[in-house]
């Protein structure tokens, strides 16, 4: 028994060392020599896309989130006759968007520096630039990720938090990825931009009691109670400033105006109430916590060195 325990401890230590080593290989200057115009090209593409449609900023940020319980661009792989990827997961099907913007920027990068900038790095930088384009904070993106050659539908279904999650489930889902409760509350602040579909907030506006009654009624007009009716109708996650990246999301929670069940769970008499109140009253505290958390998330288990590949087209393996 002692030998088995020792082996287990050794395996944990080795795994931690490998994860730390992979993260250490990432660098903010990774493309300075190999593709010096990479970051400016990405920013120009994002700025143009967000200027054309403000909601696109939220969609591009969401791609990074939904890829980054892995951060290897596996989310971008299209389904084929012989391959079912992450795009069909419950949290992704019919709701993830922005692939055209990613493909356009990737094509520009390939023309500049063939097979140099990974799709995983592209998503990480796009997320930062999308937040900036909508008035939010900036941060230094560490680079050097490589792209996966596979994707897992089952892992996407089990790993991505659902809008029906309660606080305990949310904390556990993020903890499983090395992100603490403060990280979780800060990253949830991304819901200060973007929209959600009726099917994802229907139960909250009709069945929950932790919601402002007038707010619920206003949403019901565009989200019928019966499933299958108006499922894809949209409502802003932040009704106050839906196209500005600010801390209004948290003030909405204080007024019981969280759109998703999982949103309002962050301020519902639980352990994260104080964090929500802090972020609601202190924009700088939210910005600092958000940038810290998204950098931490972006460095989760990256493929580096000779692992994976640099895809020529983000939607398929080479």
**Which residues belong to the annotated binding site?**
67, 70, 72, 74, 86, 161, 191-192, 238, 241, 246
d(C-alpha 174, C-alpha 185), whole Å = 10
Alpha-carbon distance of 296 to 304, in angstroms, equals: 16
Residues belonging to the active site: 66
List, as residue ranges, the binding site for Ca(2+): 67, 70, 72, 74, 86, 192, 238, 241, 246
Helix spans in 53-136 (H)? 55-67, 99-112, 119-133
Dihedral angle, C-alpha 177, 257, 130, 174, nearest 10 °: 0
Closest by CA to 74, choosing from 143, 156, 18, is 156
Closest by CA position to 185, among listed 258, 280, 276: 276
C-alpha 103/C-alpha 312 separation (Å) is 10
Whole-angstrom distance, CA of residue 129 vs CA of residue 123: 10
Q: What phi and psi, each to the nearest 5 degrees, are found at residue 48?
A: -65, -40
Q: Whole-angstrom Cα distance, residue 110 to residue 163? A: 37
Which pair of tokens denotes residue 48? 């143009």
The angle formed by the CA atoms of residues 305, 309 and 314, to the nearest 5 degrees, is 135
For 146, the token pair is 């490589």
Task: Work out the end-to-end distance of the chain between its first and last CA atoms, rounded to an integer number of angstroms.
Answer: 46
d(CA 220, CA 242): 19
């Amino acid at each position: 028994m002692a030998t088995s325990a020792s082996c287990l401890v050794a395996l944990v230590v080795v795994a931690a060392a490998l994860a730390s080593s992979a993260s250490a290989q990432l660098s903010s200057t990774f493309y300075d020599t190999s593709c010096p115009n990479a970051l400016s090209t990405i920013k120009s593409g994002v700025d143009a896309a967000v200027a054309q449609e403000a909601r696109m900023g939220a969609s591009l940020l969401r791609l990074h989130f939904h890829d980054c319980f892995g951060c290897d661009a596996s989310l971008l792989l299209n389904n084929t006759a012989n391959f079912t990827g992450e795009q069909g997961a419950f949290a992704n099907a019919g709701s993830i968007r922005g692939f055209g913007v990613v493909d356009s920027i990737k094509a520009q990068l390939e023309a500049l520096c063939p097979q140099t900038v990974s799709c995983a790095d592209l998503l990480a930088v796009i997320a930062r630039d999308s937040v900036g384009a909508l008035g939010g904070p900036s941060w230094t993106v560490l680079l050097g990720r490589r792209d996966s050659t596979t994707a897992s539908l089952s892992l996407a279904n089990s790993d991505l938090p659902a809008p029906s999650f309660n606080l305990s489930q949310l904390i556990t889902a993020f903890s499983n990825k090395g992100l603490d409760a403060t990280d979780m509350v800060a990253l949830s602040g991304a819901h200060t931009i973007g929209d959600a579909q009726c099917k994802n907030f229907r139960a909250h506006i009709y069945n929950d009691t932790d919601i402002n009654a007038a707010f619920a009624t206003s949403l019901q007009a565009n989200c019928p109670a019966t499933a299958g009716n108006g499922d894809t109708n949209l409502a802003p996650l932040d009704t106050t400033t839906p196209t500005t990246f600010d801390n209004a999301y948290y003030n909405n929670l204080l007024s019981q105006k969280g759109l998703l069940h999982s949103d309002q769970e962050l301020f519902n008499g639980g352990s994260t109430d104080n964090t929500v109140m802090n972020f609601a009253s202190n924009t700088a505290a939210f910005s600092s916590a958000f940038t810290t958390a998204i950098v931490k998330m972006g460095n989760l288990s990256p493929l580096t060195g000779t692992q994976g590949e640099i895809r020529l087209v983000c939607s398929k393996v080479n």
